[in-house]
Amino acid sequence: MDTHIWYWWINQIPGRLSSGIVDLIEQADEVAVSAISVFEMAWLVRHGRIELGGEFEQWLEDVIESDCVKFLPVTPQIASLAVAFPAYLELQGRDRP
């Protein structure tokens, strides 16, 4: 699951996801999120782009304890290929993610 979709879904942000998408997510046998999404979410919170209504560390602990998503590791292969994506290259010299 994409970082923003994860954020909108887990925090139940109104109007961001259609009811059909929410149903698909909630009916899935398993919902997976890349571990890099944790970094992206922390970055967004730290830079004031999103709010979680409390400390990021507590929010993350609550998510992990809820067992609602499976976190997928960023393998060395994925990390090395990620810089080849045009979106990453466009961000060079600017704030990331």
Provide the b/e sequence for 26-52 (b: ≥16 CB within 10 Å): eeeeebebbebbbebbebbbeeeebeb
pLDDT tens per residue, the chain (97 residues)?
999 999 999 999 999 999 999 999 999 999 999 999 999 999 999 999 999 989 999 999 999 999 999 999 999 988 887 777 665 555 544 455 5
Question: What is the pLDDT, as a whole number, of residue 53?
Answer: 87
Question: pTM of the predicted model, to two decimals?
Answer: 0.74
Question: What is the pLDDT, as a whole number, of residue 71?
Answer: 96
Q: CB count, 10 Å around CB of 20?
A: 8
Question: What is the pLDDT, as a whole number, of residue 16?
Answer: 94
Per-residue HEC secondary structure of 1-57 comes to: CCHHHHHHHHCCCCCCCCHHHHHHHHHCCCCEEECHHHHHHHHHHHCCCCCCCCCHH
Cα torsion 74, 9, 13, 51: sign: negative
